[in-house]
Amino acid sequence: MRYLSFLFVVLFGTPAFAQSLEENELVTRLTFSSAIPTELLATRSVVLFQSSIPQKDLDECQSYFQQSGIDAVAYFDINRMLAGHDVRKAYASYLANRGIKFLILFQKDEKGYRLIFCPFNGKKDLVDANSAAWKQENASLNELLRTIYRFAVSNLKKQNFLINDLPEMDITIKPFTGRINESFSVEVKSFKTAIPKFGNPADDAELEAYLKANFPLKYELVDADATEESLYTKGFRTILRFAHARVIVAKEILGYDVTQVARSLPSAVFVNNEIQIKTIPSDQVIYKFYFKNIEYGNVFLGNKWDADLTWQDALRNHIQAYKINQKIN
């Protein structure tokens, strides 16, 4: 789905590799070529890996990249990096500042491994439509990496020499410039709120119908691509955003204490307009909505963790909780 400038599409059919919707959207925008990128051994790259890939595989990957001359300066969990508009924007800014030229998608499932090399466009959508990309896949990671090594040394001149021995994975990217508050924003009652569209007719219609029936405050559905700067000049002071990731990842991104997270976590949900507690596994992918002040970047999460499995349920939970907290009928 698309929502809040994610630009995500719903795909038909089952992908060969276990990808999230966000990762699928990224891959489907690429045009694959049989040629290895000509600047791969002369510029910086980052690896975006799936959370199911073990550390030993990441270490082996970096070892072969070092031998090949592929300067993978950092490794990021792709589920975390693509977890929402604010997160994507922060990561894109970080990559641009470090002069990253290539993204390397590292995927794994029961059929084997795949590595995809594609150019980074310097923007929050990460890759341009129809970008030329190169991929290799094999049931054996070692054979896959050997193949990439042979392509690299046979076709390109190595210009990267100071390459890390091990993956650099301890980089913290802060997605928010303002304060994170476990409360509700009173500005939503006073100013018109921007609510970006999904970008497809079915979801847009469902969103519009829900808000019309359940959100009796000033708001406007805006284009998914609208920048917050342009919205501010039009009088908007708050915007509705969400995080979409595994529970443990979403909570960490949103500033919650995750030092003692259990296998399952309680979420405050609404059933027949009454609040109930729903237990969700910490590795389950969820949606968590929040309001954000556009001018200062302050984030308002609400006074309870109200994430849910679908955007519809998560949105209902958050709107209902806001109305109760602010005494809105």
Query: Phi and psi at residue 50, in whole multiples of 5°?
Result: -75, 145
Query: Are the C-beta atoms of 214 and 240 separated by less than 8 Å?
Result: no
In a 13 Å sphere around the CA of 161, the CA atoms on its Cβ side amount to: 2
Q: Give the pLDDT confidence of 312-327 residue by residue, as tens digits.
A: 999 999 999 999 999 9
Q: Give the pLDDT confidence of 10-46 residue by residue, as tens digits.
A: 332 333 345 677 899 899 999 999 999 999 999 999 9
- Tell me, rounded to whole angstroms, the distance of Cα 211 from its chain centroid: 25
CATH 3.40.50 domain span(s) along the chain: 21-155
Res 133 pLDDT > 70 = yes
Other C-beta atoms closer than 10 Å to the C-beta of 229 total 9
Give the residue with greater pLDDT, 81 vs 272: 81
Using a pLDDT cut of 90, give the percent of the chain over it.
83
Q: How confident is the model at residue 96 (pLDDT cuts 50, 70, 90)?
A: very high
* Confidence at residue 7, expressed as pLDDT on a 0 to 100 scale: 33
0.85 exceeded by pTM:
yes
Question: Tokens 């284009």 appear where?
Answer: 223
Res 309 pLDDT > 80 = yes
Other C-beta atoms closer than 10 Å to the C-beta of 161 total 9
Res 264 pLDDT > 90 = no
Query: Phi and psi at residue 243, in whole multiples of 5°?
Result: -105, 140
Which contiguous run of DSSP H or E holds residue 318?
helix 311-325
* Confidence at residue 220, expressed as pLDDT on a 0 to 100 scale: 97
Adjacent-strand bridge partners of 48: 76, 105
* Confidence at residue 18, expressed as pLDDT on a 0 to 100 scale: 52
Top CATH class of 21-155 equals alpha beta
Query: Phi and psi at residue 293, in whole multiples of 5°?
Result: -75, 125
State the average pLDDT for the chain. 91
Instruction: Give dist(CA 126, CA 150) in Å, integer.
Output: 28
Return the amino acid letter for 319: I
Task: Give residues with Cβ within 8 angstroms of 189, minimum separation 6.
Answer: 217, 326, 328
> Is 109 exposed, middle or buried, given 0-12, 13-18 or 19+ CB atoms closer than 10 A?
middle
Q: Give the pLDDT confidence of 152-176 residue by residue, as tens digits.
A: 999 999 999 889 888 889 898 999 9
Q: How confident is the model at residue 199 (pLDDT cuts 50, 70, 90)?
A: confident
Q: Write the DSSP string, 44-102.
A: EEEEEE-TTS-HHHHHHHHHHHHHHT-EEEEEEEHHHHTS-HHHHHHHHHHHHHTTEEE
Q: Give the pLDDT confidence of 44-75 residue by residue, as tens digits.
A: 999 999 999 999 999 999 999 999 999 999 99
Residue 10 DSSP one-character state: P
Q: Give the pLDDT confidence of 218-248 residue by residue, as tens digits.
A: 999 999 889 999 999 999 999 999 999 999 9
